[in-house]
Amino acid sequence: MIAPSKINSDRLGAYRFAVAIFSALTAASAALMFSGMPALAADIAVKAPPPPVYSWTGFYIGLNGGGIWGQNNLSSVFFDGGARVSAQTLGALAGSGGVNGRSAIGGVQAGYNWQGPTPWVVGVEADIQGMSLNENRTSGIFTVTGQQAQDFDQVHHDWLATFRGRAGYTVNRALLYVTGGLAVGDMRFSRTQTWDFGDGCPIDVQLFSQSVNDSNMDMVRVGINYRFGAAPVVAKY
């Protein structure tokens, strides 16, 4: 028979051994946990939200201003085959030529852009501009067989509007694009002709002519737009 004191001594030794093993495992776990914290912090820094990415999608409206240069070529067409050759020659000489002018221009524009997950942007835009473009011409005094003729021509423009499609590529807040579409405008032509014939009649009633216009305009504009709902879009991974 084993004495009770011997049993208690063995049990106490086993208990102390188990406590020592548990303490060692706990210390090792704590060391591993704290040693892994810098790596965990580094992982958190890498996952930080990226800076906002600008989106071009939305409606916009704006103002523009600049300059415009116009040039028109004029010619005469005769419908009366009975007109005297001298009158036809004078009409062709005095009635053909070019008119030139320039003006300030200003207006408004509005449109809409679409941008998907890529840098490409497509959109539509309409604008209208006002101007006071006068292209004037005073021909020389032409003389044929003692008869004289001179023309005073004017082409006037009040407004110009365009309706265009747009395609472009973005570099964050910069948009490089091309446009194309329809342009319409107001154009008025007036002509005053002065004739002096040897028979004393200031106008040759046999002559009837029409001016044909070939119009070209070059325009330079700068503008600024306001986009509605222009909050940046935050990219998410």
Residues 6+ apart with CB under 8 A from 189: 153, 154, 155, 156, 211, 213
Which two tokens mark 49?
């939200």
pLDDT in tens, 196-225: 766 555 555 445 556 666 778 889 999 888
Phi-psi region of 125 (alpha: psi -120 to 50; beta: other; left: phi over 0): beta
Position 227, amino acid: R
How far is Cα 127 from Cα 45, in angstroms, rounded to an integer?
Answer: 48
Q: With a threshold of 0.85, does the pTM exceed it?
A: no
pLDDT in tens, 20-74: 554 544 544 544 444 545 554 455 555 666 655 678 899 999 999 999 999 888 8
Which two tokens mark 99?
């008119």
Q: Which of 185, 187, 169 is nearest to 177 (CA)?
A: 169
